[in-house]
Structure 1
Amino acid sequence: MHKAWKKPLHKRKVWQKISVMGRMVYYMQPLLSDLQGIWLEPLPFPTLLKLAFSCLLCFVILLPLLFPILVVLFYFGIFQYVAEHHSWLSFDQNWDLLGAMSNLWSFEVTNKKYQLYLHMCLDRYQTIIIGVSTTLDYMRMALFFIFS
């Protein structure tokens, strides 16, 4: 951050003319360069770790947008709890955050056939993801040995 403020872009008159989106793009450049750097990492670094790091970095990039939404949802849940327990106010199904969260928390697949199908689908997708990432790693290694 210290390097960014020493750049000539941060002269007061120029910085005030830049839009908010332009400022966000300016500050996201280091994170995106990290994302580019992780995918250009040399061979022994596996693709699954690159994918996990990319997801973590995207979460960090989206955190300034997610945090206000989570704060608003948290305070709406507090307001809904107080309003339902201490007054006559009740919320309909579209605005019932606490009911939706309790349904989500207690969700369970009771049918054994559906449980088996869910496990089979999850296992299949896990195998596909691992197979594709391993194939990418082996192809990179083969190309590295061919062209080096």
Structure 2
Amino acid sequence: MHKTWNKAFHKRKLWRTASKPGKLVYYMQPLVEHLFDTWMQPLPFPTLLKFLYSCLLIFFIMLPMLYPLLVLLSYYGLFQYAAQEHFGLETPENWDLLGATTKLWRFEVTNRKYLLFVTMYIDRYRVVLTAISSTVDYMRVALYFVFS
């Protein structure tokens, strides 16, 4: 008699009837558990590093959904390029992927006043993010000493 409850889910007969999103969730479970374990790490692991690591891990979790989107966008870009260069077809402005990428690639802030304004805002939010993460770390240290 086989003990099916000791077998992994992907080795059971039920695996063939599982849907593709169900299989995707099954394979993403270790990454999500690792994400939760990262946030439960004890001190002195800083919150800012946890946030950066979590962003990287979420990117890898989302990769199976982002990859087909990237493939579709690249094929649409190739189709649009071939249609414009060889057949002379013009795409509407809302669907112009090549025009949007050239605008994004050549974007430049020409006014020095606005450039300084954007730099100051970026520095401000960087300082605020660092302060919040440091506050969380110090609160964790204080609570660690209070409850230990």
> Normalising by structure 1, what TM-score?
0.88
User: Are 2:130 and 1:130 equivalent residues in the alignment?
Assistant: yes
> 2:47–2:137: 8 Å Cα contact kept in structure 1?
yes
Between the aligned residues of both structures, percent identity stands at 52
Superposed CA offset, 1:55-75 (max 9, x none): 011100110111111111111
Q: How many residues align?
A: 143
CA separation of 1:9/1:90 partners in 2, compared to 1, >3 Å: closer, same or farther?
A: closer
Superposed CA offset, 1:23-60 (max 9, x none): 22222211111001000111011111100110011100
Aligned match of 1:44:
44
User: Are 2:127 and 1:107 equivalent residues in the alignment?
Assistant: no
Structure 2 gap segments, 5+ residues each: 1-5
CA separation of 1:91/1:9 partners in 2, compared to 1, >3 Å: closer, same or farther?
A: closer
Aligned match of 2:59:
59
Alignment of 1:29-40 (within 5 A): 29-40=29-40
Aligned match of 2:8:
7
- For residue 107 of structure 2, give the secondary structure of its aligned residue in structure 1: coil
4+ runs deviating over 4 angstroms:
none
> 2:48–2:130: 8 Å Cα contact kept in structure 1?
yes
Structure 1 gap segments, 5+ residues each: none
Greater Cα shift, 34-43 or 105-114 = 105-114
- For residue 125 of structure 2, give the secondary structure of its aligned residue in structure 1: helix
User: How large is the RMSD of aligned CA atoms in angstroms?
Assistant: 1.7
One-letter amino acid of the counterpart of residue 25, structure 2: V
Distance in 2 of aligned mates of 1:21 and 1:85 = 39
